[in-house]
Amino acid sequence: MTTTTLKLNLGPQHPSTHGVLRLLLELDGEKILSCEPDIGYLHRGMEKMAEKLSYIKYLPLVDRIDYLAGFFYSELLCRTVEKALNIELSDRVRAIRTMLLELNRISSHLLWIGAFLMDLGATSPFFYAFREREMILSYFEKLTGQRMMYNYFVFGGIRKDIEFLDDVQKIISILPEKLHDYERIITENPIFKRRCVNKGILEPEIGLNYSITGVNLRASGIDYDIRKNDYLYQGFDFAAVILQGKDSWSRYKARILEIKESIKIISQALDYLKKNEKLEQKHINPLNIRLPEGEYYQEIEAPRGLASCYIKSTGEDRPYRLKWRTGSYYSVNLLRKLLVGEYLNDAIAIAGSLDIILPEVDK
């Protein structure tokens, strides 16, 4: 009797590839022998577009790089341009930006919790997570007029002063008890633990070799949180979440803990914003932004890892070359390594635990 391996196209039309990822799997029974991620189904030419558009015209587009954490990429572009133009942000603008970024991080992590549990076959946490995420999104909608693509940060500051701070207060007072609910229904659930503890082990060396950053790396025990050195976060008291577990369960737990840390940051920012009500920001003419000739680089801690922006300018009103570095891109590459030797239904859980979002990969 001859036996052959089975080639399986997981995706792009597959419920758990979260959009548009294609995994070419080679299977022996249900055991994965090799995995080849195929990306590019959502490529929109984000980097090329930058070369044709002026900075202000490009700014609304960058929200779409990661549509679950839109603030982060517009923040990143603004920061790079501000760095090039030597613009210092006032404390109030810093606090506003930090607060919105952290709220966005929470909403992104909440969506991940829902999607991850959906991958594991539990449907209810998805709805619970969306219920909490909805509060944050409706606040963003109230503030910016948009639920996901905010276009709120501008070069040198913010579009208009922050409003509706009571809503934020309400969100951060409700969230801790909801998180407690999640922990009760998910974290100690024996089936959940069986499927996540010691599954998808990401050794720190492998993580570093594959350029993994963000929560995935911190759950493998490496202390690498850009926020600690970011001047946006200076003066805020928070801890980088470092767990030693290396497995899917730690990655889950790290995100829950990170939400708690974000709540801390938000409440500090909120206290500051309530005290200092005068908005100071330098107005620059958005139609005439010309970066001096040179190369500029800026990085921030996005929900899915280190995100960075590189701009090469020749002194024109548009970048000569613009490059994004996104966390998910490297996580997708990691699937090659992490899925080999796993069984199909564990593989889905492991891939889910890495928090890959495809628009960020394809750009």
Where on the chain is the footprint of other proteins (CB under 8 A)?
6, 8, 14-16, 30, 117-124, 126-128, 131, 185, 189, 191-192, 194-195, 343-346, 348, 352
First-residue to last-residue Cα distance in the chain: 47
CB of 103 to other proteins, least distance (A): 21
Query: Which residues on adjacent β-strands are paired with residue 157?
Result: 154
Considering the complex, state which of residue 94 and residue 195 has its C-beta at the smaller distance from other proteins.
195
Considering the complex, state which of residue 71 and residue 128 has its C-beta at the smaller distance from other proteins.
128
Cα-only R_g, the chain: 21
Prior bond of 12 cis (ω within 30°): yes
CB of 255 to other proteins, least distance (A): 16
Task: Report helix angle 91-119 to 165-182, nearest 10.
Answer: 30
Structure-token pair, residue 356? 């890959």
User: CB neighbours of 177 closer than 8 A, spacing ≥ 6?
Assistant: none
- Distance separating alpha carbons of residues 334 and 206, to the nearest angstrom: 9
- Distance separating alpha carbons of residues 91 and 103, to the nearest angstrom: 18
Going by their DSSP bridges, the two strands 294-302 and 157-158 should be labelled as unpaired
CB of 185 to other proteins, least distance (A): 7
Q: Which of 133-147 are b and which e, b meaning 16 or more Cβ less than 10 Å from the residue's Cβ? A: bebbbebbeebbeee
Whether 98 and 269 have beta carbons less than 8 Å apart is answered as: yes
User: CB neighbours of 90 closer than 8 A, spacing ≥ 6?
Assistant: 157, 279, 280, 281
Structure-token pair, residue 16? 């758990």
CB of 126 to other proteins, least distance (A): 8
Considering the complex, state which of residue 15 and residue 237 has its C-beta at the smaller distance from other proteins.
15
CB of 15 to other proteins, least distance (A): 5
CB of 22 to other proteins, least distance (A): 14
Query: Is 99 exposed, middle or buried, given 0-12, 13-18 or 19+ CB atoms closer than 10 A?
Result: buried
CB of 168 to other proteins, least distance (A): 22
CB of 263 to other proteins, least distance (A): 22
CB of 343 to other proteins, least distance (A): 6
Going by their DSSP bridges, the two strands 22-28 and 31-38 should be labelled as antiparallel
Considering the complex, state which of residue 89 and residue 348 has its C-beta at the smaller distance from other proteins.
348
CB of 344 to other proteins, least distance (A): 6
- Distance separating alpha carbons of residues 301 and 65, to the nearest angstrom: 15
Structure-token pair, residue 79? 């920061």
- Distance separating alpha carbons of residues 135 and 138, to the nearest angstrom: 5
Considering the complex, state which of residue 332 and residue 350 has its C-beta at the smaller distance from other proteins.
350
- Secondary structure of residue 84 in the 3-state scheme: helix
Considering the complex, state which of residue 91 and residue 183 has its C-beta at the smaller distance from other proteins.
183
